[in-house]
Amino acid sequence: MEHIIVIGMNHETASVELRERLGADADNPRKALAWMRNLEVIREGFFLSTCNRVEALVVADQIDAARGSVVSLMARLGGIDPGDLMPCLYVFEQMNAVRHIFKVASSLDSMVVGEPQILGQIKEAYGLATREKTSGVILNRLMHRAFHVAKRVRSETGICGSAVSISYAAVELARKIFHLLEGKKVLLLGAGEMAELAARHLLSHGISSLMVANRTFERAVEVAGRFQGRPVSFDEIGSILTHVDIVITSTASPGYVITRNEVKQCLRKRRNRPLFFIDIAVPRDVEPQVNDLGNVYLYDIDDLKGVVALNLAQRKEEAVKACRIVEEEVGKFEKWLKTLSVVPTIVSLREKAESIIQAECAKSQSALEPLSPAQHRAVETLIRSIVDKVLNDPIVFLKERSGRPTVNTYLDLTKRLFQLNGMESQASGKVEHGGD
Amino acid sequence: MTSPWFSLALGLYLLAAGGFTVFIIRQQPWVFRCSYWILVAAFVFHTVFLGYGYCQLGTAPVLDLRSALSFFAWCLAGVYLVVQVRFKLRVLGSFVAPLAAFLMIISSAVPIAANTAKPLFKSFWLTIHVGTVFTGDALLAIAFLAGLMYLIQEGQIKKKRLGSMYSRLPSLATLDSINYHAIVYGFPLLTVGMITGSIYAQVALGRYWQWDPKEVWSLISWLFYAALLHQRLAVGWQGRKAAVLSIVCFGVLLFTFVGVSLLMGGYHSFSSMGAR
């Protein structure tokens, strides 16, 4: 009987220092897999190391032995005392482990729920496991199911839907106002990491021109150079406001840089085209009353934070839906795992043969009608003995290997050869290719 | 007796309205596709019903309130289907389909009037008059709906309370552009409808204009829309103000369409049309 075990740490259980020590060396996952391959107790192994989590997934016969060796492996990898490591680790077994992996893959366990990078990282780690030949039938199946779950969660829930960073929330708002950002003009007032990030997002959405203004013109030239924008002087702002569509402000000025009157004056010249202010500065750069003007929208940093908080709350709601999908898939996986022992396979093999006999007999019924009851019996005995002889060798073969580590491969192969569970076996066929 | 084509169309409109309502809540594309094709089917059956009515009556079947409402629902559905092809704005269906279904329900509740037409109504001009006016009205109804959606969306963005409609409604620019285009196309149709109406009046009654309440109110709504178009094109109104005005204009238009017919009499009123 195999056990699936996950041992790992994430952003909640372990400090960043500890995670760093394990994740510092980019070659660590390969090393870990190489060690796992050499360990007698571990049949299949997978090692994931990202900046927020370090996880080992193993398939083993004895839980305790496997757990002990994985912990000591991690300790060795990070040069940490196993005693210090233990409190930071979580251990999941069997279906809990499956559930955990599904959740991780669909980004339900991430620091920012719904972030898309983790799936790519898992795929990479799995690729490494297949190259290092530590993956087997169970792991292959498990990982492909995990990818499938992640895909389902992404398409069936809104978990990746809305922006959860301030700069991205600003871009999303801009798109709700202008629809397409192509051809729109942006003015970047001041500089700063967040403002520049927002500008970069806007640029990637196809805005046509970016102007940069700063108290010191040299600084404006420098920032403009980074974005292929046009530096403008601070005094021109009044006239520039009539041309631009989006204004990002982030100056260190203590008072308002843009006042309601200034904006109001340019509105007529703008022919009421919408104007969107993104005020990232603290203290604020744009007078709040600007928002009361028609077709002018002002979002300051707190408003944007509010949007982000709302989106995060929405993602949490969606996460409930996602958990339901995960449960469903865990159930399916459990079912598959149970078929992965010798007896059920033999039973279903016999059942399949029996159903073929029944179907074929039914087909030939009219041709066999003239036969006497004794002849009928003889024909039936003949059919059954042929089928039994054909099936005998595969069954003996499977029984002989039931105690060996390679049994799963043969079981899987048998299922595929005889198409023992329809769709199931096709799916595992795909798994096997992925593992090769 | 209610025509089976009418009942079929009514049933499909209701189904489409339900589907579009589910769509705006669940946001699943396949729900939209189903609802859209149900609406297309409803429109087709409705067209058959109206075509049959036209052949039987010898003129456009719009002479009683029941038929007029159903004809308006048909125009609305038709215009939406065209707008959908042009703008690909799926959420609009969630507003149009219930409105069309609502019109059909009211229409089916109104008792059937005699299905013969006075020779006076068997005129080519009547069909042109009613066809253009109703298509124009349908476009202006779309403008009204887009204006309504604009105000909902704008309110959410301005007040910084991004509720559940925020992600479901399209961008302000899209809604404004639909409002604008619907008026730009709807207004000329309304104008043509009024001109052909007066030509028809000249042909049938011998006078272009006779201060019938419907005529007066049509002129008032026409002036309202003319003002809206002027503000948009010449003054450069857009967004909230234009949306509000298009809603006000539609209120006047609605009064002209339903209120005047029911309350004020005149030769446009349906009771006078049924009388022999």
Rounded-to-integer distance, Cα A311 and Cα A159, Å:
9
Chain B contact set for A173 (CB, 8 A): 157
Tell how far CA A15 is from the center of its chain.
23
The C-alpha of A179 sits at a distance from chain B's nearest C-alpha, in angstroms, of 5
Token look-up 């920012």 returns A112
The answer to whether A276 contacts chain B (CB < 8 Å) is: no
How far apart, in whole angstroms, are the C-alpha atoms of residue A81 and residue A302? 45
The number of C-beta contacts closer than 8 angstroms across A and B is 49
Q: Is residue A286 part of a domain?
A: yes
CATH of residue A62: 3.30.460.30
Q: Do A176 and B241 touch (CB under 8 A)?
A: no
CA A217 from centroid of its chain's CA atoms = 45
Are A143 and A182 part of one and the same domain? no
The predicted model gives B204-216 an average pLDDT of 81
Closest CA–CA distance from residue A177 to any residue of chain B (Å): 5
CB contact under 8 A, A299 and B160: yes
Residue A381 sits in which domain range? 341-435
Q: Quick one: A278 and A170 in the same domain?
A: yes
pLDDT at A385 over 80: yes
Q: Using CB atoms, which residue from A177, A294, A306 is nearest to B173?
A: A177
B27 Cα to chain A: minimum distance (Å): 10
Contact between chains at B171 and A299 (C-beta distance less than 8 A): no
Confidence at residue A424, expressed as pLDDT on a 0 to 100 scale: 42
A254 within some domain: yes
Of A179, A271, A291, nearest to B173 by CB-CB distance is: A179
Residues of chain B with Cβ-Cβ distance to A291 below 8 Å are 158
Which residue from B158, B236, B238 is facing A297, i.e. has the nearest CB? B158
Please say whether the dihedral angle defined by the alpha carbons of residues A234, A240, A241 and A244, taken in this order, is positive or negative: negative
CA torsion sign for A99, A105, A106, A110 is positive
Instruction: Read off the pLDDT of residues B102-126 as tens digits, 9 standing for 90 and up.
Output: 888 888 887 776 666 666 677 778 8
Q: Please indicate, yes or no, whether residues A146 and A178 belong to a single structural domain of this protein.
A: no
Question: In this complex, which of B171, B238, B241 lies closest to A176 when CB atoms are compared?
Answer: B171
Residues of B in contact with A307 (CB under 8 A): 160, 162
The more confident residue out of A402 and A409 is A409
A142 Cβ contact list (under 8 Å, min separation 6)? A4, A57, A98, A101, A333
| Chain A contact set for B162 (CB, 8 A) | 307, 310
Question: Can you give the pLDDT at residue B255?
Answer: 86
| Cα radius of gyration rounded to whole Å, chain B | 19
Range A194-209 burial, b when 16+ CB lie within 10 A, else e: bbbbbbebbbeeebee
A335 is a domain residue: no
Could you say which of B171, B240, B241 has the minimum Cβ distance to residue A175? B171
Q: Does residue A322 fall inside a structural domain?
A: no
Q: Does residue A110 sit in the same domain as residue A229?
A: no
Number of domains making up chain A: 3
Q: What pLDDT was estimated at residue B243? A: 92
C-alpha to C-alpha distance for A284 and A253, rounded to whole angstroms: 8
> Do A212 and A297 have their domain in common?
yes
Q: Identify the residue among A205, A295, A321 best suited for mutation to test binding to B, counting B beta carbons within 10 A and taking the highest.
A: A295
Co-location of A239 and A300 in the same domain: yes
A277 touching B, CB under 8 A? no
pLDDT tens digit sequence for B230-252: 988 888 888 888 999 999 999 99
Please judge whether A173 and B157 are an interchain contact, meaning their C-beta atoms are less than 8 angstroms apart.
Answer: yes
- Comparing alpha-carbon positions, the chain B residue that sits nearest to A295 is B239
pLDDT exceeds cutoff 60 at A133: yes
CB-closest option in A272, A297, A307 to B238: A272
The whole-number pLDDT of residue A425 equals: 39
Under 8 Å between Cβ of B257 and B71:
no
Distance from CA of B145 to the nearest CA of A (A): 18
| Claim to verify: residue A230 and residue A345 sit in the same structural domain | no
Q: Are residues A294 and A191 in the same domain?
A: yes
d(CA B87, CA B73): 20
- The answer to whether A178 faces chain B, any CB pair under 8 Å, is yes
Quote the CA–CA distance of B223 and B225 in Å, as a whole number: 5
How far are the Cα atoms of A133, A196, A216, B209 from residue B127, in angstroms, in the given order? 79, 61, 70, 19
pLDDT score, position A1: 62
Residue A428, pLDDT above cutoff 50: no
CB contact under 8 A, A297 and B157: yes
Residue A180 lies in a domain: yes
A51 is catalytic: yes
Range B203-220 burial, b when 16+ CB lie within 10 A, else e:
ebeeeeeeebbbbebbee
Range name among A76-85, A134-143, B89-98 with the lowest pLDDT average:
A76-85
Is A319 a member of any domain? no
Question: In the structure, what pLDDT confidence band is assigned to residue A436 with cuts at 50, 70 and 90?
Answer: very low
For residue range B7-40, list pLDDT tens digits in order: 888 899 999 999 998 888 877 888 889 999 999 9
Structure tokens at B112: 């059937």
Please indicate whether, in this complex, the C-beta atoms of B170 and A175 are within 8 angstroms of each other: no
The pLDDT value recorded for residue B252 is 92
Task: Give me the mean pLDDT over the A269-288 stretch.
Answer: 88
CA distance B158 to chain A (A): 6
Tell me, what DSSP letter sits at residue B118?
A: -
A421, pLDDT greater than 80: no
Average pLDDT over residues B146-152: 92
**Do residue A262 and residue A391 come from a single domain?**
no
Chain B contact for A405, CB < 8 A?
no
Contact B173 A307 (CB under 8 A): no
Ordered by start, the domain boundaries in chain B are 1-115, 118-276
Average pLDDT along chain A: 83
Verify that A94 and A27 share a domain, yes or no.
yes
Q: Which long-range contacts (CB under 8 A, 24 or more apart) does B84-88 make?
A: B84/B36, B87/B174, B87/B178
Q: What is the pLDDT of residues A292-322, one digit of tens each?
A: 988 899 998 888 888 888 888 888 888 888 8
Can you tell me the distance from the alpha carbon of A261 to that of A190, in angstroms, rounded to the nearest whole number?
A: 21
Please list every residue in chain A whose beta carbon sits closer than 8 Å to the beta carbon of residue B239.
272, 274, 294-295
Q: What residues of B are in the A interface, CB distance below 8 Å?
A: 153, 157-158, 160, 162, 166-167, 170-174, 236-241
* Nearest-CA distance B217 → chain A (Å): 31
Q: In this predicted complex, what is the ipTM?
A: 0.82
* Same-domain status, A93 and A150: yes
Q: Is residue B188 over pLDDT 90? A: yes
* Contact call for residues A414 and A421 (beta carbons, < 8 A): no
Residues in A closer than 8 angstroms to B171, CB to CB, are: 175-179
Inter-chain touch A178–B171, beta carbons under 8 Å: yes
Q: Are strands A230-232 and A209-213 parallel, antiparallel or unpaired?
A: parallel
- pLDDT band (50, 70, 90) for residue A65: confident
pLDDT digits (tens, 9 = 90+) for B49-88: 888 888 877 777 777 778 888 888 999 999 999 888 887 8
Tell me the pLDDT tens digit for each residue of A214-246.
Answer: 888 888 888 888 888 889 888 888 888 888 999
Please tell me the distance from the alpha carbon of residue B39 to that of residue B34, in angstroms, as a whole number: 9
Q: What is the pLDDT of residue A405?
A: 67
Given an 8 Å threshold on Cβ–Cβ distance, is B238 in contact with A306? no
pLDDT at B273: 60
| pLDDT computed for residue B275 by the predictor | 41
pTM over 0.80: no
Q: Does residue A277 lie in a domain region? A: yes
Percentage with pLDDT > 70 across chain A: 95
Q: What pLDDT is stored for residue B187 in this prediction?
A: 93
pLDDT higher than threshold 70 for residue B272: no
Task: Give the whole-angstrom CA distance, residue A348 versus residue A270.
Answer: 76
Q: In terms of domains, do A286 and A402 share one?
A: no
Kindly name the residue from A51, A266, A323, A361 that is annotated as catalytic: A51
For chain B, say whether A155 makes contact (Cβ under 8 Å): no
Q: Give Cα A304 to chain centroid, integer Å.
A: 26
Residues of A in contact with B240 (CB under 8 A): 294-295
Question: Which pLDDT value is given to residue A431?
Answer: 39
Percentage with pLDDT > 90 across chain B: 30
A294 and B239 within 8 Å at the Cβ level: the answer is yes
pLDDT for B183: 93
Contact B173 A274 (CB under 8 A): yes
Residue A240 lies in a domain: yes
Span A14-38, pLDDT tens digits: 777 777 777 777 777 888 888 888 8
**Residue A251 CB neighbours (<10 A):** 21
